Structure 1
Amino acid sequence: MTAHYDEAEVLREVSLTVGAGEVVTLVGRNGAGKTTLLRCVMGLHRRTTGTIRLAGRDLGAVPPHRRARRGLGYVPDDRGIYAGLSVEENLTLPPSKADSAWPLARVYEEFPALAERRRSAGGKLSGGEQQMLALARVLRTGAGVLLCDEPTEGLAPIVVERIGEILREAKRHGTAVLLVEQNLRFATTVADRHYLLDRGRIAESLANDDVREREHELLDYLGL
């Protein structure tokens, strides 16, 4: 897949796969094209060339809302919370059609902080609470594929740990996760493998052991 912003080529012949019950991480410097890749998969940014398939079906002409109905769930880096709606309204607004959709009771059981703030406006939540709400909202739809953009950025360790638990649980139930993540140590606790994106290209495919062995090298490369 190739994608541009105006005349600038942002993604260059990117090819990757994510299987059911698998978490795959995209790692790369700022500006490497990670967010653009997620947006292309979701249909929010037009690819120039290439094919995007979900369960073998070409998504080429399918608009974003229909991709969501087919099982794609997107958690953007800005979380996409409706600031003026309550937590419960944010959770119940998207349709829940798949058998794998989380009922509201389960959301509140897994995210007790959201249960306590169910009547609060989304804009009044802390950053960690907003991230949990963004993730819970996608799980409510029963999405079979999660596209998560920097879900742990700037969050307290206890919230990061909880997000890891939820992603591992989703994986156990067969959900595929494509995760943009700069926190390498967190990534190795949830992911099965990793793609290193460099200037719009897939530079390497890495196993967890590779990341652990080369942690200092990778952190220097990422500027972290």
Structure 2
Amino acid sequence: MTDTGTDDVRGPVGTTGRATGPTLELSGLSAWYGEARVLTDVDLQVRPGEVVTLVGRNGAGKTTLLRSVMGLHRQVQGTVSWDGNDLGRTSPDRRAKAGIGWVPDDRGIYSTLSVAENLRLPPVVSDAAWSLDRIYEQFPVLHERRDFPGTKLSGGEQQMLAIARVLRMGSRLLLLDEPSEGLAPVIVQRIGEIIRQIKEQGVSVLLVEQNVTFASTVADRHYLLAQGRVVESLDNDSFQSRTTELLEYLGM
């Protein structure tokens, strides 16, 4: 239950505005907490400029999968490949520098720093990085709140800041964990618009989402996880046609 590989990771490639760039591939990924297996032989792919969701009940292993991609969960077997490179033992910070951006479910905002300081703090890792002007144009509320500390932001504003921060770095893949959770419908709609804009810029998104209706408005494909395994892979048309069934399955 140890990972193997190399620290030699090329930086992200691709041109903003076109769906070209690195691909994420998982092959035979398994993960444990102690003796408890959480993921079993997961195969998954996210292509450039593609939005892919992980759908499943609580405890299905969705967040563990994202953490394994980011290198935050280390008790794993199998391959996590990014831009053709096995990430293996590559540390989370080197994965971030290679273009993988992490937006956790708690948003990870530095509460004592202002919005502007949160945006300026992370390093720029590629020429795909969004400028502050562009961030403020796409997220006008962040411009309005730029001098506010993180503790003074609403949940929706914190979510926008968390997404904007990884775009400011130039991440080519966003790992989004439950971005709609606990937010008002109007804010959820805005988050959906932002994800679609990100996709148009050629940035990929791997999205954990319990809100099936929301997922169907932003994603190209969906993986259904049950007890740590991928049990189905659906295109969005098939997913939308089975919304009622999936809601019942998820107990929603």
Quickly name the TM-score band, shorter chain normalised: over 0.9
Aligned AA (1:63): S
CA offsets per residue over residues 20-78 of structure 1, 9 Å max, x none?
01000000000000000000000000142101010101100110000000000010001
> What is the CA distance between 1:160 and its match in structure 2?
1.2
Q: Secondary structure at the match of 1:35?
A: helix
In the alignment, the residues of structure 1 paired with residue 56 and residue 177 of structure 2 have an alpha-carbon distance, to the nearest angstrom, of: 12
Q: Which position in structure 2 is the counterpart of 1:83?
A: 111
Q: Secondary structure at the match of 1:50?
A: strand
Please provide the CA RMSD for this pair. 0.9
Q: Secondary structure at the match of 1:51?
A: strand
Alignment equivalent of 1:141, drawn from 151, 169, 173 = 169
1:44 aligned to 2:72? Answer: yes
CA offsets per residue over residues 187-219 of structure 1, 9 Å max, x none?
111100100000000010011122222111110
1:24 aligned to 2:52? Answer: yes
User: Mind listing any 5+ residue stretches in structure 2 that lack a counterpart?
Assistant: 1-28
1:155 aligned to 2:183? Answer: yes
> What is the CA distance between 1:172 and its match in structure 2?
1.4
The count of residues paired between Structure 1 and Structure 2 equals 224
In 1, are the aligned partners of 2:129 and 2:170 still within 8 Å (CA)? yes
In the alignment, the residues of structure 2 paired with residue 108 and residue 140 of structure 1 have an alpha-carbon distance, to the nearest angstrom, of: 11
Aligned AA (1:170): I
In the alignment, the residues of structure 2 paired with residue 2 and residue 164 of structure 1 have an alpha-carbon distance, to the nearest angstrom, of: 30
Q: Which position in structure 1 is the counterpart of 2:33?
A: 5
In 1, are the aligned partners of 2:68 and 2:76 still within 8 Å (CA)? no
Q: Which TM-score applies when normalising by structure 2?
A: 0.87
In 1, are the aligned partners of 2:98 and 2:125 still within 8 Å (CA)? no
1:62 aligned to 2:95? Answer: no
Q: Secondary structure at the match of 1:14?
A: strand
In the alignment, the residues of structure 2 paired with residue 34 and residue 174 of structure 1 have an alpha-carbon distance, to the nearest angstrom, of: 24
Q: Which position in structure 1 is the counterpart of 2:155?
A: 127
Q: Which position in structure 1 is the counterpart of 2:238?
A: 210
In the alignment, the residues of structure 2 paired with residue 172 and residue 89 of structure 1 have an alpha-carbon distance, to the nearest angstrom, of: 27
User: Mind listing any 5+ residue stretches in structure 1 that lack a counterpart?
Assistant: none
Q: Which TM-score applies when normalising by structure 1?
A: 0.98
> What is the CA distance between 1:117 and its match in structure 2?
0.8
Q: Which position in structure 1 is the counterpart of 2:99?
A: 71
In the alignment, the residues of structure 1 paired with residue 241 and residue 196 of structure 2 have an alpha-carbon distance, to the nearest angstrom, of: 22
In the alignment, the residues of structure 1 paired with residue 200 and residue 87 of structure 2 have an alpha-carbon distance, to the nearest angstrom, of: 26
CA offsets per residue over residues 153-182 of structure 1, 9 Å max, x none?
111122112111111111112111100011
Alignment equivalent of 1:53, drawn from 81, 84, 89 = 81
In the alignment, the residues of structure 2 paired with residue 41 and residue 24 of structure 1 have an alpha-carbon distance, to the nearest angstrom, of: 14
In the alignment, the residues of structure 2 paired with residue 11 and residue 60 of structure 1 have an alpha-carbon distance, to the nearest angstrom, of: 17
In the alignment, the residues of structure 1 paired with residue 250 and residue 75 of structure 2 have an alpha-carbon distance, to the nearest angstrom, of: 26
Aligned AA (1:191): A
* Fraction of identical pairs, as percent: 65
In the alignment, the residues of structure 2 paired with residue 188 and residue 108 of structure 1 have an alpha-carbon distance, to the nearest angstrom, of: 27
Q: Which position in structure 2 is the counterpart of 1:198?
A: 226
Aligned AA (1:201): R
Q: Secondary structure at the match of 2:123?
A: coil
